[in-house]
Amino acid sequence: MTSSNSTNPSFKEAFATLKANAQKLEDQTEPDIEHLLEVVEQSTAAYKICKARIDAVEKRCCIRLSLLLIVSLRWGSYHVRVKSAILDVI
């Protein structure tokens, strides 16, 4: 992975590494055993970075969706009470 900050590559850089290594392996007509370990190590590191970022985004989405659901349920309850109060007046 080539990065301006090689200790902490971005998701985009890690994903690009995974794609490049997959393409490199697919394009080989004969296995390149001499460089296989390097490719596997790079790919494993890139995968961990991508997975950690995806997990973090998934967690944030779940939290936000849960909050949205809570607000929607509370608003729905409030709306029903207001509508009921209006109908009582009429």
Rounded mean pLDDT for each run of 10 residues along the chain, 90 residues in total: 67 98 93 91 97 96 87 69 62
pTM: 0.68
Output the pLDDT for position 4.
Answer: 47
Predicted local distance difference test score (pLDDT) of residue 74: 73
Residue 8: the pLDDT is: 85
Distance of CA 44 to the CA centre of its chain: 17
Tell me if 17 sits within 8 A of 1, measured CB to CB: yes
pLDDT recorded at residue 71: 78
The first and second tokens of residue 22, run together, are 């997959």
Distance from C-alpha of 44 to C-alpha of 54, rounded to nearest angstrom: 15
